[in-house]
């Protein structure tokens, strides 16, 4: 697979779009060398000096009052040393033109906006990495290196770690358009018309601000001021919160110059669109620290040191996904020592280990030949990471690190009771699956039942759907991280120290066997027991450690329904809808689905789906999606513009993710998923709706890289 991937990538013309975050090993081979010699294809620069707005080139049609502080959040890994050398080269550095940072003053927001502009306009990934890392290094060499924390969060369009509640941006377009109108003195109707024509709220703000005369020049915006204001806006609630949010936005907008307004409004919308994903941010941080530490010794950073630093910062982040902790630790101990100091800690959710799909029991036996492995039920529920903290408090996190403790007060009560009966257990992190449970018949209920539970303000007395927590791994116990220990050891520790409670807390049902007939029988039984199939895991040895955030072949998933298909379901984003006919009149009768390109932040269309829905499903989906209708496709949608069969009747804001089954995958001239690799997109044949993935956001959907991998595996079976 790796060899095929390298050959395929080597044959791709340099001008084709870049792949997404979750890349295969060696994905920089040849692309970096090409970038050194080939001219860079720049996106058309948007002029803002004329009174007319230029359409977005990415789309063709497209209580006490809070204190207002106004002016005074896979990319390809560089495993190849040659590519690291290219990134560190003099030519790459000299092409960045990063604005200097003052030693004594806060970081100007204009400097960050300038970097955003360069990233948006640049198409070569190595140069984008160089631009970001050079800016980071400027900050590290200033008197305020901790300013890198806020800059990093603003670059990923977040205000803190995922597990901290109340820090979400993503304000609605209605509020933002109103803020632009009030802040620039233009008519709301003009602002709305401009937005419908351009399709980019940031460009509308930038152009509107450029027309606005000011009697007195406000103090320039700084990164700390913008960050604090955005944080206040995110946390505002109550009846007057909208007016207060608009007030803060207006004051910041008045202080904006040049492209500051564009990126400020995009940040507020939650769509920065700078073609620079989070894993690229980690690589840029690694490079900045390597070069900064080398410069203190009057030396230059080496490619080998960069390769090591990249791997270490990714390992550290997978265990401690908090940029403040990561950056402060690197400042204190050095980037090469970061893993030793960023280890698991209850209260900070780690990124979960994921499984690779497989299509047959014989494939499992081939993969685990000569190794011990175990089979476990794959439960049809919601991934849950259970944390018992040193102070006795209990937190439950989703697969996306969202704190969902308030959603499951009944589980919190169960764990408290378990803690009381097991006084030797002080701290703990468990990997589990939360499923709906029929108390009377003592059996698992489908995920659809679990999805009917309230998600907010849940009171124990109001709970109608009971749940059971099935634990399958122990990652931390009494102050010690266990992820480097074998699964066999972790499983023994789990079962030796926690007593199951029927219907409340149980171990995942498992079987250790390498007999084909026994595995087949266990698979059949799992389906009878209302499970999706089996998880098959390496049980012993160095390969059986827990690998946070990785989709590893040391874990395989075997689902009954997928044995003759692609090998797994796909989780696709709903970006469009088709008006229903006949019995479906009055509702959406079908939907346009897309993969998410984690490198570009774009949604690439993959199929139209209309089967698998009940009438009730369509009614509820129509009610849910109606408020998210768009007047034109977003600039981040990649679709076939010249074929009417590819165009939906309505476009949607990407909010919902469907789990979809398919017979197989094929190349299509109509759809665009993974088109960078083949000239044609990859599409699903005979897709069928399974369920809504409430536990996944649009950016967690099947990536363009993943659908390419599925297609290649299918072609080589």
Rounded Cα distance between 603 and 53, Å, is 25
Concerning whether 127 is annotated as a catalytic residue, the answer is: no
User: What are 20's two structure tokens?
Assistant: 């997404």
- Which one is predicted more confidently, 628 or 7? 628
Q: Which pLDDT value is given to residue 74?
A: 38
Q: Where are the alpha helices (DSSP H) in 199-350?
A: 201-210, 223-235, 241-255, 260-269, 278-296, 303-319, 323-333, 338-341
Among residues 279, 351, 378, 550, the one annotated as catalytic is 378
pLDDT for 565 beyond 70: no
Question: Quick check: 707 and 673 in contact, CB under 8 A?
Answer: yes
Mean pLDDT, residues 310-332: 96
The pLDDT of residue 77 is 53
Q: If pLDDT is split at 50, 70 and 90, which confidence band does 108 have?
A: very high
* Among 523, 530, 527, residue whose Cα is nearest residue 443: 530
Give the mean model confidence (pLDDT) for residues 321-332.
97
Q: What is the mean pLDDT of residues 270-278?
A: 87
Residue that the structure tokens 């079987």 belong to: 511
Q: What are the distances in angstroms from CA 145 to CA 105, 464, 599, 606, 623?
A: 12, 51, 27, 43, 49
| pLDDT mean across residues, the chain | 84
Phi, psi of 111 (to 5 degrees): -65, -40
Measure Cα distances from 580 to 587, 619, 649, 690 in Å. Answer: 5, 11, 10, 19
Q: Report whether 531 contacts 448 (CB < 8 A).
A: no
Contacts of 525 (CB under 8 A, 6+ apart): none
Which helix (H) or strand (E) covers residue 490, if one does? helix 487-497
CA angle in degrees (0–180, nearest 5) for 458-418-481? 100
Q: At what angle do helices 173-184 and 201-210 cross, to 10 degrees?
A: 10
What's the token pair of residue 301? 């950073």
CA distance 689 to 609: 7
Per the CB < 8 A criterion, the answer to whether 590 and 578 are in contact is yes
According to the per-residue pLDDT averaged within each range, which of 73-82, 332-341, 686-695 is highest? Answer: 332-341
pLDDT band at 529 (very low <50, low <70, confident <90, very high): very high
Percent of the chain scoring above 90 in pLDDT = 59
348 — phi, psi (to 5°)?
A: -120, 105
674 close to 642: Cβ distance less than 8 angstroms:
no
The one-character DSSP state at 692 is: E
- According to DSSP, the residues that pair with 571 across neighbouring strands are 659
pLDDT at 213 over 80: no
pLDDT computed for residue 161 by the predictor: 95
Q: How far apart are CA 230 and CA 599, in angstroms?
A: 25
Return the pLDDT at 300. Answer: 87
pLDDT band at 327 (very low <50, low <70, confident <90, very high): very high
> Measuring CA to CA, which residue among 700, 699, 655, 708 is closest to residue 273?
699
Separation CA 110–CA 258 (nearest Å): 8
Nearest to 109 by CA among 67, 54, 84, 72: 72
Which of 391, 702, 445 has the alpha carbon at shortest distance from 572? 702
Q: Report the C-alpha gap between 553 and 551 in whole angstroms.
A: 7
Overall average pLDDT of the 268-276 stretch: 88
Query: Is the pLDDT reported for residue 553 higher than 60?
Result: yes
Which of 207, 196, 237, 249 lies closest to 635 in space, CA to CA? 196
Residue 253: is its pLDDT beyond 80? yes
pLDDT score recorded for residue 281 = 95
What is the pLDDT at residue 646? 78
Please write the tens of the pLDDT for every residue from 49-105: 333 455 554 444 334 444 444 443 334 455 456 666 677 765 555 555 666 677 778
Please give the residue that has the higher pLDDT: either 134 or 85. Answer: 134
Structure-model confidence comparison of residues 229 and 520, the more confident one: 229
Task: Give the phi and the psi of residue 660 in degrees, each rounded to 5.
Answer: -130, 135
Q: Around Cβ 477, how many Cβ atoms within 10 Å?
A: 21
Strands 588-597 and 664-668: unpaired
Residue 371 is predicted with a pLDDT of 85
Q: What is the model's pLDDT at position 709?
A: 87
Radius of gyration of the chain (CA): 26
Upper half-sphere CA count for residue 554 (Cβ side, 13 Å):
17
| Reported confidence tier of residue 602, pLDDT bands at 50, 70, 90 | confident
**Is residue 32 pLDDT above 60, yes or no?**
no
Percentage of residues in the chain having pLDDT higher than 70: 84
Q: Distance between terminal CA atoms of the chain?
A: 12
Residue 266 has pLDDT above 70, yes or no: yes
pLDDT at 19 over 80: no
Q: Work out the average pLDDT over 679-695.
A: 90
CA torsion 362→366→368→370, rounded to 10°? 120
pLDDT above 50: residue 173: yes
Cα(289)–Cα(544) distance, integer angstroms: 32
Question: 3-class SS at 364?
Answer: helix
Q: pLDDT (tens digit, 9 = 90+) per residue, 476-518? A: 999 999 999 999 999 999 999 999 999 999 999 999 988 888 8
Q: How many residues in total does the chain contain?
A: 717
User: Structural domains in the chain?
Assistant: 2-39+70-157+277-341 (no CATH), 48-69+165-271 (1.10.3260.10), 375-521 (3.30.470.30), 570-715 (2.40.50.140)
Per-residue pLDDT band at 38 (split at 50, 70, 90): very low
């Amino acid at each position: 697979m790796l060899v095929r991937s390298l050959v395929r990538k080597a044959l791709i013309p340099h001008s084709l779009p870049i792949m997404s975050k979750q890349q295969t090993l060696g994905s920089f081979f040849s692309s970096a060398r090409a970038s050194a010699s080939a001219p860079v294809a720049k996106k058309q620069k948007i002029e803002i000096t004329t009174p007319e707005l230029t359409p977005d080139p990415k789309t063709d049609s497209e209580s006490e009052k809070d204190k207002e502080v106004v002016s005074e959040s896979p990319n390809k890994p560089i495993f190849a040393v040659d590519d690291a050398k290219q990134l560190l080269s003099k030519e790459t550095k000299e092409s960045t033109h990063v604005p200097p940072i003052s030693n004594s003053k806060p970081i100007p927001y204009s400097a960050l906006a300038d970097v955003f502009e360069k990233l948006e306009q640049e198409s070569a990934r190595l140069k984008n990495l160089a631009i970001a890392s050079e800016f980071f290094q400027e900050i590290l060499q200033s008197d305020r290196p901790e300013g890198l924390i806020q800059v990093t969060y603003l670059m990923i369009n977040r205000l803190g770690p995922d597990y901290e509640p109340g820090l979400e941006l993503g304000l609605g377009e209605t509020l933002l358009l109103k803020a632009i109108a009030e802040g620039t003195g233009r008519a709301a109707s003009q602002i709305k018309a401009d937005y419908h024509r351009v399709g980019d709220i940031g460009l509308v703000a930038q152009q509107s601000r450029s027309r606005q005369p000011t009697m007195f020049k406000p103090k320039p915006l700084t990164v700390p001021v913008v960050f604090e204001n955005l944080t206040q806006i995110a946390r505002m609630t109550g009846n007057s919160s909208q007016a207060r949010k608009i007030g803060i936005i207006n004051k910041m907008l008045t202080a904006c110059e040049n492209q500051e307004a564009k990126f400020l409004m995009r940040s507020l919308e939650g769509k920065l669109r700078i073609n620079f994903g989070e894993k690229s941010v980690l690589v840029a941080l690694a490079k900045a620290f390597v070069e900064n530490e080398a410069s203190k010794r009057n030396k230059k950073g080496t490619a080998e040191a960069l390769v090591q630093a990249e791997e270490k910062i990714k390992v550290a982040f997978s265990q401690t996904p908090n940029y403040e902790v990561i950056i402060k630790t690197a400042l204190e101990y050095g980037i090469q020592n970061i893993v030793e100091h960023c280890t698991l800690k209850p209260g900070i959710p780690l990124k979960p280990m994921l499984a690779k799909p497989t299509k047959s029991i014989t494939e499992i036996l081939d993969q685990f030949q000569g190794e011990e492995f175990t089979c476990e039920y794959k439960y049809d529920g919601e991934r849950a990471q259970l944390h018992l903290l040193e102070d006795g408090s209990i937190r439950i996190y989703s697969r996306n690190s969202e704190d969902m403790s308030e959603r499951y007060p009944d589980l919190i009560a169960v764990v408290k009771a378990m803690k009381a009966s097991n006084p030797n257990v002080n701290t703990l992190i468990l990997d589990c699956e939360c499923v709906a449970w029929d108390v009377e018949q003592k059996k698992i209920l489908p995920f659809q039942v679990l999805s009917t539970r309230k998600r907010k303000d849940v009171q124990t007395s109001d709970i109608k759907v009971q749940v059971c927590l099935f634990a399958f791994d122990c990652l931390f116990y009494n102050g010690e991280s266990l992820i480097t220990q074998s699964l066999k050891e972790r499983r023994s520790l789990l079962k030796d120290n926690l007593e199951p409670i029927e219907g409340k807390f149980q171990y995942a049902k498992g079987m250790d066997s390498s007999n084909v007939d026994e595995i087949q029988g266990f698979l059949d039984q799992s389906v009878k027991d209302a499970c999706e199939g089996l998880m098959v895991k390496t049980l012993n040895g160095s390969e059986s450690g827990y690998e946070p955030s990785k989709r590893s072949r040391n874990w395989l998933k075997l689902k009954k329904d997928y044995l003759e298909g692609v090998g797994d379901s796909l989780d696709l984003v709903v970006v469009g809808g088709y008006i229903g006919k006949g019995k479906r009149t009055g509702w959406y009768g079908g939907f346009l689905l897309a993969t998410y390109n984690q490198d570009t932040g774009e949604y690439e269309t993959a199929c139209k789906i209309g089967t698998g829905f009940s009438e009730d499903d369509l009614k509820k989906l129509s009610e849910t999606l109606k408020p998210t209708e768009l007047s034109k496709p977003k600039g981040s949608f990649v679709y076939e513009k010249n074929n009417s069969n590819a165009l939906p009747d309505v476009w949607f804001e990407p909010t919902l993710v469907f789990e979809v089954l398919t017979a197989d995958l094929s190349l299509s001239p109509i759809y665009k998923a993974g088109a960078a690799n083949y000239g044609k997109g990859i599409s699903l044949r005979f897709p069928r709706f399974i369920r809504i993935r409430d536990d996944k956001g649009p950016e967690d959907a099947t990536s363009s890289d993943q659908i390419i991998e599925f297609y290649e595996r299918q072609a080589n079976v």
